[in-house]
Structure 1
C-alpha cells in the first residue's frame, strides 16, 4: 500500500507542467564571472568582475531604468584582447565599483610588443541621477613607451526586465543608433507602447574613431604616464544632454548618500565579523532606498525586484523601525497613495487593497504582464495596518496617523469585505485572472501551498500567517483609534481580534502535527504540513502560549533547523526540497520574523540559536551579505552554506535581518508616550560580548547605550542621553 501511495504521488508530481509557473526566473547555466550591482533611485546596473556588461555568459547584465535595459553591452578590450583581472571591489558604502586590470601579452606579427602586467588599468564606476559614470585610468609601469588601442564595444536591446528574466514576446518595437557628434552616440527604441526610449553615451576625450557600436582610442604612453578616459551612459536624456564631470558627480553622489542616512541609529559590537555584516547590511539598505514623492522607500532587491513592492517594503520598514522609523513613514505614505480604489480583475485590484508590485516597462504598459500596478498580494493589506500601528507606537506621530487613518480604514474594510469572500472570518485569496499570481502570500511559488499528500491547495486559500497579521493589525488599529478619540471603533476592533484568535485556534491547530496548518483550502480542509509559516504566527501573537512553546520547540528540531537557519518546509514533508525557492530553503527575513515571535513568547535560547546560525552563514557569504535565500541542506563541519543561484543580493528584507535578530535578542521596546526604551529579557549570543547603540532616538530625545554580556545575563550602561529619555531592563516570565 505504501508503495502504491508513493507511486501515485510521484505520478502527480511529474505530471505538473513547467508552464504552470508564470514569471519563473530561468537559470540556464553558471555565470562565467561574478556579478556586482550598483543602484541609485530608479536606476541600477549589473556588471561583471571586470566592470564589463554583456562580456560573459550567465548574468542579467545591463544598465536598467524603470524596468527597461538601457545598455546591454559595454566591454573593454586592449588591441581586441580582454584585459586580465587583478581584483574588483565595491566601496564599503556601495557608492562605486573599483576594478583593477592589467594587460595580457600583446602580439603583433608573431612578436610580443607589450609584455603582460605593464599597464595598470583602473575602472571606477558609479550611478547618479539616471547616468552611469565610468573613469578608465591607464598607467604605463614599464621602462619604455607603449602604444596600443583601447576598444569600447557597446550595444543595447532595450529589453523589458521581464524579457531579461526569460519571458518571450512575439513582437517588439524598433531600435536604431546614430552619431550625435564626434563624442556622442544615441541609441533609440520606439516601443509598441508608443514611447521613445533613448540611451546617450558620451565619451571624453573624443575617441580616435567612433561608430554606433564601438569607440576606439589609440594611446601612446611614456613610462609612468597616466591617461584617463571617461564614459557616461544616460537613460532617457535628450541627445544634447551633457553629464556632470566625473569627479564632481562622484562627490555630489556621496554627499547625497551621507545626507540621506543622517539620523539613523548606529551599532558597533565586540565582534569584528558581525560589524562587517552590519555595515554591509546598512550599506545595502541605503543603496536600495529610493527617493519617491511620498518619501524614501526600500526597493525589494537587485536585479529582479528593484521597484516598489508592498509586502517587501512593509516588512523591511518593520525590521528597521527601531533604527530609523522614517523609513516606515515613507513606505506607509507611498502605499496609501497607491491604495486600490476600484475593481480591476487583471490587476487583482479591489477597493482598499494595498499594492503588491509596480512596474514601469513596456510590457507592463501594454498589459503583457499585469504588474503596472498589481495588487495580487493577500498579506500586504493587513501588513499595512500592522506597520501603521507599530510606527505610531514607536514614534507617537499622531499627525501622520491622522493622515493615514482613511487608508487604514479602507484596508480594514477590504479585510472584512473583499478579503473574506465567504464571510467565514478568515482572509483568503484566489487570483482573478490567469495572468495573476497563483499564490499570493509571501511564498508565492505555484507549488508552495499544498497538502500532506502533495496535492496543491485549490479554491479560495486562507494562509495561516495572514490571519496572524490581521489579528495583530486589528489590535494595533484599535490602539490607533483610541489615540484619535474613536473609542467605539477601538472597542470593535479589539473584539474582532479576540474573536479571530479563538476561531483561528479552532480551525488551524493540528494536534497530530503539534503545530498549525499551513492554510485552509477552498473546501476548508487544512493543509497539514509543517512549515515556517507557523513561526510567523508567533511573531503576530495570535497563538496560545502553551501552543507557542510547542511550535517554538518544533522549529528548533533538526527537520526544521538546518544549523544555518529554519527551513521554509520541514524535512520529511512530501514537497520538501532544500534547493527549492519556497519548499525547504532558508530565507533570512523569515527567520528574523520567527525570532521576533520566539522572543515574544520568552523563548530566548531559541532566538540565540537562530541568530548564531544566520551569523555563521553571513560570515561565509560574499561581502558578508545575506542573500534573499539559500539552500536548506544540513550544516556540515568546516564548510559553508549552499547558495541558491538566482537569489537577489542585495535584497532588502534579507539585508535588514541582522538588525531584527539583534532587536529580538535584546527585546527592544519603545514607548513613545512614556519616553521610555525597554530591554525585555535581554540576552546576547555567545559571539557577542558587547553591543554599543548610538543615537537611538525616541521623539526629540536620543540615547547611546552599551549592553555587556555576562554568561546568560547582560548589564546595561547608558553612555549618553540627549533630552528626556528613560532606559530600563525588564525581566519577566
Structure 2
C-alpha cells in the first residue's frame, strides 16, 4: 500500500455490502488498487475485481459529489465533463454533460446504472471508456500476506456484451468475474469497453453494467438492476419494520444513530440458521464468534433476532471434538470462519478456527440475556445442550492447570493471544516483557463468572436445580478468586492478567473495566474503577484508552496498547451504569458522540488513536481500521441502554434511574416490542430526572420506572 493511502481510504472511500459480497470504491465510483490497495469487489474472501475505471474520452470526469445513502443501500456519484478539445478547439465546454453513476450490491453481483444528460445548446458525440482488470487476490493477500505462488489465470473471454475473467486457485476451485453490459458497447476488448453516444440538447441516455462474482458450481442468478434494487430496498424496510426505532431532539446524534443502525443492518448476513452480524469491512467480512456475540448483546433491546441467529449459528458450529490445528476442543465456540482460497488450502489456519478464549462464556451470557429479553424458552431448550457443553468446556478444557481460572496457551499456527486484545504485544508485565503462558486474562474471568450466573438462572427455569446450584457456587468461587488474585493494592486496580506461574501482570488496562459489565466485583471496587478510568492517563477526551499512558508499552498509535475502541468503551459504560455510575457512563457517551461528528458519515470506526483531545480538532484516524465495524456500530445502543437503566422481564419494560446527557433533552422510542405486545415511548429530561411517557401501547405491556 502506498504511503498515506490508508488515510485516503478512510476519508474518501465508499463501502457497500450485501450478504457475502462487499465493495470499496473511491469517490469517483472507481476502483484503482495502485492508489488504495483495499479497493475492489469482493466475494467470499476473494477480490473479484481489482480495477474499474471510467473515462470520458481519455479524461477523468470532474467530480461534483458522491455519497452513500443514509441506509447504505446505494452509492451515487455526480460527474460532469471537463473541456473536451478537438484539433485545438473546445467542442464541449466543461460543465455541460451530467453523468450520474449509481451502484449497489445484491447477493454476488455489483450493479451500476450510468445516466447521461446533455445540457449543452448543441448536439454532442460522447465516448465513454471503461477499463477493468482482476487479480483474484485472497483477502489475506490484500492485507499484505506474501504467497509463494498463485493459481492459474485463464485467457480473458470476450463476447459482444460481456468480459469474463477466469481463475483456478490452488484449492482447485474455479472463480469467475463476468462484467456484463446492457445495451452492448460499441467496442469491447479483454480489459476495455467503449460506448459512443450521440445526444441532442436535453436528451438523456442510460445504460447498465453488472459485475457477477461466481464460484464453481454456484448458480448464476439473473436479476435486472430495477428488480435487484427493489429487493435491497425491501430488505431495508423489513429490518425497519421488525426493529425498535430511536429518535432524539439532537439531530447530529440522530445521524450517528441512523448510520450505526444502517451499518448493523448492512453487516448482518443471512445464514441457514438465521442472521449473523459479520465483524467488519474490509478485513473481517465473515463470522467472528466474539464480535458477533458482543454486537448481538449491544443490539439486543433494538432487535433480538440478531441474537437468536447468532446463537443458533454458533451452537451449530460449536466444537464437538479435538482438533489441535483448529484449536478446537469439545464445547468451544468458534472464533472465526474463512472461505477464501488461502483458508481452503490451509495457508492460513482460519477456515474454521476456535482460538478465542472468551467466545464460549460470552455465548452463554448472550443466551441468558436473549431469554430475558424475549421469554423464548423454546429456543433456549433447543440450544440447552450447547449451553451445558459450553460450561463443560470452561471447567474441563478452559482451565488448563486446574487453578479455577480460564487460561490459554499460544497456538502454533493461529493466535498468540486469545482474548479480544489478540495482537502479539498486547499482554505483558509492567516492565514491558511479554507474558509467560498459560495466560489468565482478567476480563475472561469476569465473563466466566457471569456465564455461570446466567447459566444457573436458565437451569432453574428448566428445572435443573442441581446444575443451577453447582454453577451458582462455582460463580461465587470465581468472584472470590478474582478479588484475591487479580486485585493489586500497589496499582489500586485489577491487573491485566496472571501468567503461567500465577504472577500478576501489573498493568493498568481497560480489560479490568469489563468486570463492571459482568458485575464480578464489589461496589467499593467499582467506585475505584469509576474514578480511575476518567483520570487523564486513561481518558483521552474521546474515550477510555485500552492502556493507561503510565504503562511502558503505551502507544496511542498501536492497535491495542493505547488506542480507543468504541465497543470496549460501551461495555465499560454499560457496566458503570449497572453500578449506578450514570454520570460516568454519559461522559463516555458524550465523548464517542462528539468523536462521531468528525468521522465521515458519522461512522464510528473499529478504533482510533488514543492521543489526548486537542481544542478544535477531531480524533486521529487509526491506520487500516475497519469502517464499518459491527461492534463499534452497536456501541451507542448499549451505552444508551445503560444510561436509561433499561431491562426486560417477561412483558415488563423496566427503567431503573433513567438519565440522559445534557445534549439529549428528548428521546422517542417506537415499536419497542416484548413477547405479547409493543409500545411507543416519549422520554423527557428535566435536569437529572427523566420522565417516561407512554404514547401508544399494543398488547400486554407493562412499564415500570424506578427512581
TM-score, with structure 1 as normaliser: 0.94
Q: Is the 8 A contact 1:348 1:431 kept in 2?
A: no
Give the whole-Å Cα distance in 2 for the aligned partners of 1:597 and 1:313. Answer: 19
1:228 and 2:209 correspond: no
1:203 and 2:203 correspond: no
1:171 to 144, 149, 158: 149
Q: What is the CA-CA distance between 1:545 and the residue it aligns to? A: 1.2
Local SS of the residue matching 2:505? coil
Moved more, 636-645 or 277-286: 636-645
Q: What is the CA-CA distance between 1:445 and the residue it aligns to? A: 1.0
Report the CA distance shift for 1:240/1:186 in structure 2 as closer, same or farther (over 3 A).
Answer: farther
Q: Is the 8 A contact 1:310 1:357 kept in 2?
A: yes
1:377-415 CA distance string (max 9 Å, x none): 111011001111111111111111111111111111111
1:245 and 2:224 correspond: yes
Give the whole-Å Cα distance in 1 for the aligned partners of 2:255 and 2:4. Answer: 33
1:609 and 2:606 correspond: no
Q: Is the 8 A contact 1:265 1:323 kept in 2?
A: yes
1:663-709 CA distance string (max 9 Å, x none): 0110101011xx21111111100000011111111112111111111
1:727 and 2:703 correspond: yes
Give the whole-Å Cα distance in 2 for the aligned partners of 1:370 and 1:26. Answer: 28
Q: Is the 8 A contact 2:156 2:163 kept in 1?
A: yes
1:557-591 CA distance string (max 9 Å, x none): 11111111111001121111111111111111111
Q: What is the CA-CA distance between 1:225 and the residue it aligns to? A: 1.3
Report the CA distance shift for 1:39/1:324 in structure 2 as closer, same or farther (over 3 A).
Answer: same
Q: Which residue of 2 is the match for residue 263 of structure 1? A: 242
1:386 and 2:365 correspond: yes
Give the whole-Å Cα distance in 2 for the aligned partners of 1:222 and 1:204. Answer: 21
Give the whole-Å Cα distance in 1 for the aligned partners of 2:406 and 2:173. Answer: 40
Alignment of 1:58-73 (within 5 A): 58-73=36-51
Q: What is the CA-CA distance between 1:66 and the residue it aligns to? A: 0.5
Q: Which residue of 1 is the match for residue 402 of structure 2? A: 423
Give the whole-Å Cα distance in 2 for the aligned partners of 1:193 and 1:96. Answer: 34
Give the whole-Å Cα distance in 2 for the aligned partners of 1:437 and 1:240. Answer: 36
Give the whole-Å Cα distance in 1 for the aligned partners of 2:3 and 2:254. Answer: 33
Q: Which residue of 1 is the match for residue 300 of structure 2? A: 321
Give the whole-Å Cα distance in 2 for the aligned partners of 1:218 and 1:497. Answer: 73
Alignment of 1:116-515 (within 5 A): 116-179=94-157, 181-236=159-214, 241=220, 243-433=222-412, 435-515=413-493
Q: Which residue of 2 is the match for residue 685 of structure 1? A: 661
Q: Which residue of 1 is the match for residue 693 of structure 2? A: 717
Moved more, 635-644 or 352-361: 635-644
1:567-619 CA distance string (max 9 Å, x none): 10011211111111111111111110001110111111111111111111112
Report the CA distance shift for 1:105/1:32 in structure 2 as closer, same or farther (over 3 A).
Answer: farther
Local SS of the residue matching 2:572? helix
Q: What is the CA-CA distance between 1:29 and the residue it aligns to? A: 3.8
Unaligned runs of at least 5 residues, structure 1: 1-24
Q: What is the CA-CA distance between 1:137 and the residue it aligns to? A: 1.1
Number of paired residues?
Answer: 704
Local SS of the residue matching 2:655? strand
2:508 to 503, 523, 530: 530
Q: Is the 8 A contact 2:338 2:352 kept in 1?
A: yes
CA RMSD after TM alignment: 1.5
1:5-63 CA distance string (max 9 Å, x none): xxxxxxxxxxxxxxxxxxxx997744556110000000111111100011651240111
1:78-102 CA distance string (max 9 Å, x none): 1121111111011111111000011
Give the whole-Å Cα distance in 2 for the aligned partners of 1:115 and 1:398. Answer: 69
Q: What is the CA-CA distance between 1:288 and the residue it aligns to? A: 0.5
Report the CA distance shift for 1:460/1:645 in structure 2 as closer, same or farther (over 3 A).
Answer: same
Q: Which residue of 2 is the match for residue 10 of structure 1? A: none
Q: Which residue of 2 is the match for residue 104 of structure 1? A: 82
1:508-558 CA distance string (max 9 Å, x none): 000111110000111211111111111111101111111111011100111
Give the whole-Å Cα distance in 2 for the aligned partners of 1:453 and 1:367. Answer: 37
TM-score, with structure 2 as normaliser: 0.97
Give the whole-Å Cα distance in 2 for the aligned partners of 1:657 and 1:727. Answer: 25
Report the CA distance shift for 1:31/1:223 in structure 2 as closer, same or farther (over 3 A).
Answer: farther
Moved more, 693-702 or 104-113: 104-113
Give the whole-Å Cα distance in 2 for the aligned partners of 1:404 and 1:692. Answer: 35
Give the whole-Å Cα distance in 2 for the aligned partners of 1:55 and 1:158. Answer: 13
